[in-house]
Amino acid sequence: MLAAPAMAANPASIRELDRVGVETERVSAVVGPKVVQIVTQSLKVAERGDEQPAGVLVAERGRGSGFFVTADGYLITNAHVVANATRIRVLVPTPGATQADTPREYTASVAGIDPENDLALLKIEVPSVPFFDLTRDATPRQGQLVLAYGSPMGLAQSASLGLVSAIDRQLSPDDPRAYIQTDASMNPGNSGGPLVDLEGKLLGINTMILSQSGGSEGLGFAVPLEVIRHSYAALRANGSVARPLLGIQPRSLTADLIAGLGLNQRQGVLVEDVQPYGPAAAAGLLPGDVLLSLGAETIHTMRDLYRAEYALSAGAPVEIAVMRGSDARLLRITPGAPRQNPPALSAGNVTEKDNLVFRLGVYGATLTPALAATLSDLRGGPGVLVIALAGAGLAAQNAIEPGDVVHAINGTPVDGVDSLRSALETVPDGTPIVLQIERAGMLSYVTPGTMPGAEQRLKKTSYVMY
């Protein structure tokens, strides 16, 4: 049998590929010093199936990526990278160093969080660093070659090449957020790293992947530059990003909704509900209206509405156009003040000083009015919300669970963590303890047992801290 003739190498094709390689090398030399690895230490409440008993507060470590956006050490990452972090370390490449050289290490503070867009602004104290200029425009194009940088699986200063698979990708019709979709390889640890074009311009921040295996399957998503730019400005100014409230429940129009409700509009946002006494109700909006414009912005989709709301000012009236059946109406709405985020209550905010109730073996939070407003089915009254168990104390041996509210001990009401601690200190050794707790809106008595003596307490109680 005759062998197939060998294919001769095409020198022109080789030169073209080599030029692409030269360009990616050049981009990496410019982009690499702007990219950092983020190492976090955090606390979480163990769930069933974890190595620790459910409900116990345990230490956890994580890794992600980030990039500088100012010369004086402000950097952007994903909010989920630093969620619940009690300590954030930023590993910065040494100028002119190779990947094998030890990076410089800094402790970061959180300057602001934008949970809706999964963005966080951090700050480290550093004299001067190379950074991405957020005012420099770059527009992604489908089919464009891009590079994703970050620390996949903890491997710092990694780069992967791919294409822009799609722009303005919504993961569901009612999700107002849109992403740049890319097939550039991303894995856990890439979150927070930059997605750039072959000129080194920032296109977006690597945020998530869709995967059935847990690894890269060519479905990566980045928050686009325009969102980063807006979020950064708000976080620098206020430490948070908030949209003024309209008081409506919006819904994307679908073919089924249009047909089933007999709507005349094929574009716009359906008003599913109107908050009683809210800005929309005062303006005369009704459920079933289709919102067509907000101020100067035409509303085609949920994303248009989402973006337009950020440009509003609370208390400043704005015109809105709606369709009600076959009637076009022009109304005037005065947006309300942005909703204040409830006090952060998570494992990452827990400290021994503020939250540990040593003799009971729980971490608790004083039930303030603001905190109570975030809890459903609460009957009211002062108390202590149980955040987590603290090891093998009295609570861990009995029926106390995270989410319970302790209202009284041995008939004495408690109005906060300090009063619960004080009440426990007055219970003599060997005396039975009866806690009045609230769970899912129902009151009950829990009897953890008798207060152990000091010697027994030291032997029985262990705390998972670091």
Active site residue 118: yes
> Which residue in 165, 191, 252, 293 is the catalytic one?
191
Closest-CA residue to 232 (of 322, 336, 122, 309)? 122
Backbone angles phi, psi at 163, to 5 degrees: -115, 155
Distance between CA 303 and CA 423 in Å, rounded?
Answer: 52
The DSSP element (H or E) to which 326 belongs, if any, is: none
Q: CB under 8 Å, gap of 24 or more: what pairs does 91-98 form?
A: 91/36, 91/37, 91/38, 91/39, 91/156, 92/36, 92/124, 92/126, 92/129, 93/32, 93/33, 93/35, 93/36, 93/156, 93/157, 95/33
Distance between CA 131 and CA 75 in Å, rounded?
Answer: 9
Distance between CA 201 and CA 180 in Å, rounded?
Answer: 14
Closest-CA residue to 210 (of 234, 239, 179, 241)? 179
Q: What is the largest CA-CA distance in the chain?
A: 98
Distance between CA 296 and CA 293 in Å, rounded?
Answer: 7
> Which residue in 28, 80, 273, 462 is the catalytic one?
80
> Which residue in 42, 65, 118, 165 is the catalytic one?
118
Question: What secondary structure does DSSP assign to 30-73, as a single string?
Answer: HHGGGEEEEEEEEEEE--TTSSSPTTBEEEEEEEEEEEESSTTS
Active site residue 191: yes
The pair of structure tokens assigned to 32 is 């690499």
What CA–CA distances, in Å, run from 134 to 39, 189, 208, 243, 430?
Answer: 24, 23, 21, 22, 64
Distance between CA 200 and CA 28 in Å, rounded?
Answer: 8
Helix (H), strand (E) counts: the chain: 9, 26
Q: Give the number of other CB atoms < 10 A from CB of residue 316.
A: 10
Distance between CA 124 and CA 133 in Å, rounded?
Answer: 18
Closest-CA residue to 78 (of 186, 222, 234, 230)? 222
Active site residue 213: no
The pair of structure tokens assigned to 422 is 């004080």
Which are the catalytic amino acids?
80, 118, 191
